[in-house]
């Protein structure tokens, strides 16, 4: 059999483009990945950065339903342009430090627009080249049963090359993707500037926000182990995008929570090297991190670009729900652990197995923190309940209107409320809270109880009344307290009566 006898059908192109990407937004990841590779390559070659243009500029025009993604990386030389832009597979990046390696990522846009255009030039003095992929024609050919051409025929049928002479406003060196006539897709997220920015803030290789205090520690740690290669990305000429992490967030139950410390992790590879490095942000573990915080889950990155979504590591936790209580990222550094074609997970291998094995104890540790935190919160709630009762009864005692027997009974009731509080404050699990708040509260209540219990009858506000009248009021007030369902309201009522009768 000769090579030429092997048929490669047109349908391959559908598999490599639209069929491969479930979420349309992933096409931004592919183009940003190419831009980041080209920018890193440019800096490795010592090419001067372009001070007049953002490194990556994304323009989304809802009116014309057009998207442009342009970078000032190496560009593609005119002589290599045609073959590089029509090649399917055979990436020149394979075996290098670049993020791409399959040679198909740029086809991601084919299923989402009427026309996909790539333009590039490597210097002002060099020719600028353009290739247009006619996606409408592509779709028709893919659907047609009569189209007999193979893959190569199809590509030549639907692409058109040109050298462009007029390039107003373009930087000297650039690569641009233009998607014309964006197809309406679900919620039209491709043209939604906010949705695109949110997506890229999670996925793209961009810096942390300067408002995020742990950013510096994480960057220093990552710099020691990886080359993060962050790039500047601006959407519709706004501020450069930053990662979504901030110091505080709102837990799922609406209560505010904050990150308290960062834990850096190095996972050894199978043969002495490093498989991955990463970090976890610890917090109050009050519950799941809401989706809107954009940071939930233990996430994975390769080449500082996210692989998969926030649920990729769920299996590492004793209960999958604890993944959503986690904030952290693992940067895979072992080049033998490869993202799969869709970049929604990694290819199975012993190296991936080794990485996952090392992460299991981390999943267990986080689950312990989550469970510990729920138990702690349950005890803290119980402490608060007893505290409320003790405080209300102490206030009644301090009012000094009860007769002797009722007073003694009330003193032992307060005692009985303080006892479980002291027990909770002595729990090992609550050590940090106990030192700062619980124990001082117990002490304070006990001292106050001792003080009011030691008061003499002469200190009562009723002391001035004749004995009989005084007993009558004491009896009346005891009845009010006994019959009322709300101690606070009963006390307020008696306070008002006292003002009248005294």
Ligand X SMILES: Nc1ncnc2c1ncn2[C@@H]1O[C@H](COP(=O)(O)OP(=O)(O)OP(=O)(O)O)[C@@H](O)[C@H]1O
The 3-class secondary structure across 111-171, one letter per residue, is HHCCEEEEEEECCCCCCEEEEEEEHHHHHHHHHCCCCCCEHHHHHHHHEEEEEECCCCCCC
Residue from 32, 38, 280, 417 touching ligand X (CB under 6 A): that is 38
CA distance linking residue 481 with residue 280, whole number of Å: 53
CB 244 to ligand X: min, Å: 24
The reply on whether position 178 binds ligand X by CB under 6 A is no
The reply on whether position 119 binds ligand X by CB under 6 A is no
Given the complex with ligand X, which of 75 and 205 has the nearer CB atom? 75
Question: Of these partners, Mg ion, ligand X, none, which one is at the site of residue 104 (CB under 5 to 8 Å by kind)?
Answer: ligand X
Q: What is the DSSP letter of 110?
A: G
CA distance linking residue 492 with residue 494, whole number of Å: 5
Given the complex with Mg ion, which of 174 and 259 has the nearer CB atom? 174
The reply on whether position 17 binds Mg ion by CB under 5 A is no
DSSP characters over 301-359: EETTEEES-TTTTGGGSSSGGGGGG-EEEEEE--TTS-B-TTSSSB---HHHHHHHHHH
Site for ligand X in 199-258 (CB under 6 A): none
Residue from 23, 49, 102, 250 touching ligand X (CB under 6 A): that is 102
The reply on whether position 326 binds Mg ion by CB under 5 A is no
# residues contacting ligand X (CB under 6 A):
21
Of 27-35, 248-256, 456-464, 466-474, which segment contacts ligand X by CB under 6 A? 27-35
Of 29-37, 209-217, 292-300, 423-431, which segment contacts ligand X by CB under 6 A? 29-37
Residue from 24, 100, 111, 403 touching ligand X (CB under 6 A): that is 100
CB 106 to Mg ion: min, Å: 6
Given the complex with ligand X, which of 39 and 196 has the nearer CB atom? 39
CA distance linking residue 54 with residue 72, whole number of Å: 8
Quickly tell me which residue has 């994975």 as its tokens.
Answer: 300
Given the complex with ligand X, which of 16 and 452 has the nearer CB atom? 16
The reply on whether position 56 binds ligand X by CB under 6 A is no
Residue from 20, 32, 35, 417 touching ligand X (CB under 6 A): that is 35
Residue from 34, 55, 170, 324 touching ligand X (CB under 6 A): that is 34
The reply on whether position 484 binds ligand X by CB under 6 A is no
The reply on whether position 71 binds ligand X by CB under 6 A is yes
The reply on whether position 306 binds ligand X by CB under 6 A is no
Mapped onto helix, strand or coil, the DSSP state of residue 265 is: strand
User: Which pair of structure tokens corresponds to residue 163?
Assistant: 């050298």
**Per-residue x/- track, 21-60, Mg ion (CB under 5 A):** -------------x--------------------------
CB 159 to ligand X: min, Å: 14
Question: Of these partners, Mg ion, ligand X, none, which one is at the site of residue 209 (CB under 5 to 8 Å by kind)?
Answer: none
Mapped onto helix, strand or coil, the DSSP state of residue 217 is: helix
Residues 6+ apart with CB under 8 A from 295: 202, 244, 245, 249, 281, 289, 327
CB 213 to Mg ion: min, Å: 34
CA distance linking residue 133 with residue 135, whole number of Å: 6
Q: How far apart are the first and last CA of the chain?
A: 115
Taking residue 213's Cβ as centre, other Cβ atoms within 10 Å add up to: 14
CB 54 to ligand X: min, Å: 14
CA distance linking residue 202 with residue 187, whole number of Å: 19
Mapped onto helix, strand or coil, the DSSP state of residue 73 is: coil
Q: Are 267 and 352 in contact (CB under 8 A)?
A: no
**Per-residue x/- track, 72-91, ligand X (CB under 6 A):** -xxxx-------x------x
The pair phi, psi for residue 423, each rounded to 5°, is -65, -45
CA distance linking residue 483 with residue 493, whole number of Å: 13
**Per-residue x/- track, 72-111, Mg ion (CB under 5 A):** ----------------------------x----x------
CA atoms lying within 13 Å on the CB side of residue 403: 17
Using CB under 5 A, list all residues that contact Mg ion: 34, 100, 105
Residue ranges that bind ligand X, judged by CB under 6 A? 33-35, 38, 71, 73-76, 84, 91-93, 100-106, 175
């Amino acid at each position: 059999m000769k090579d030429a006898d092997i048929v490669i059908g047109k349908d391959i192109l559908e598999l490599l483009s639209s069929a491969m990407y479930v979420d349309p937004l992933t096409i931004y990841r592919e183009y940003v990945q190419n831009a980041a590779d080209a920018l890193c390559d440019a800096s490795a070659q010592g090419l001067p950065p372009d001070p007049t243009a953002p490194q990556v500029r994304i323009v989304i025009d809802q009116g014309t339903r057009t998207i442009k993604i342009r970078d000032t990386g190496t560009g593609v030389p005119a002589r290599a342009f045609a073959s590089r832009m029509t090649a399917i597979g055979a990436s020149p990046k394979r075996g290098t430090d670049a993020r791409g390696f399959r040679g198909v990522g740029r086809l991601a846009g084919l299923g989402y627009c009427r026309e996909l255009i790539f333009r590039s030039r490597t210097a002002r003095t060099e020719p600028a080249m353009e290739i247009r992929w006619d996606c409408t024609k592509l779709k028709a050919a893919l659907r047609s049963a009569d189209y007999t051409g193979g893959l190569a025929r199809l590509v030549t049928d639907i692409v058109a090359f040109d050298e462009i002479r007029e390039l107003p406003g373009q930087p000297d060196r650039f690569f641009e993707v233009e998607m014309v006539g964006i197809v309406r897709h679900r919620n039209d997220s491709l043209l939604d500037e906010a949705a695109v920015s949110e997506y890229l803030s999670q996925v793209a290789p961009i810096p942390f926000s300067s408002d995020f205090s742990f950013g510096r520690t994480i960057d220093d740690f990552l710099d020691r182990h990886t080359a993060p290669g962050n790039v500047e990305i601006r959407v519709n000429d706004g501020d450069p995008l930053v990662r979504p992490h901030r110091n505080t967030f709102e837990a799922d139950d609406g209560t505010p929570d904050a990150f308290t410390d960062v834990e850096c992790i190095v996972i050894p590879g199978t043969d002495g090297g490093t498989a991955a490095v990463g970090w976890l942000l610890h917090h109050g573990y009050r519950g799941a991190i809401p989706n809107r915080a954009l940071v939930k889950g233990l996430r994975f990155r390769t080449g500082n670009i996210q692989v998969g979504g926030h649920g990729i590591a769920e299996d590492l936790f004793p209960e999958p729900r604890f993944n959503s209580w986690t904030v952290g990222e693992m940067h895979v550094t072992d080049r033998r652990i490869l993202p799969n074609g869709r970049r929604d997970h990694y290819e199975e291998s012993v190296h991936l197995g080794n990485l996952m094995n090392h992460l299991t104890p981390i999943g267990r540790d986080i689950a312990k923190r989550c469970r510990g935190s729920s138990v702690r919160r349950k005890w803290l709630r119980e402490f608060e309940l007893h505290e409320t009762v003790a405080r209300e009864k102490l206030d009644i005692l301090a009012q000094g209107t009860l007769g002797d027997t009722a007073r003694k009974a009330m003193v032992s009731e307060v005692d009985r409320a303080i006892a479980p509080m002291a027990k909770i404050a002595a729990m090992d699990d609550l050590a940090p809270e106990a030192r700062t708040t619980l124990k001082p509260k117990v002490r304070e209540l006990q001292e106050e109880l001792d003080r009011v219990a030691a008061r003499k009858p002469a200190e009562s506000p009723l002391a001035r009344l004749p004995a009989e009248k005084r007993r009558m009021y004491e009896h009346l007030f005891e009845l009010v307290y006994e019959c009322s369902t709300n101690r606070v309201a009963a006390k307020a009522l008696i306070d008002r009566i006292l003002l009248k009768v005294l």
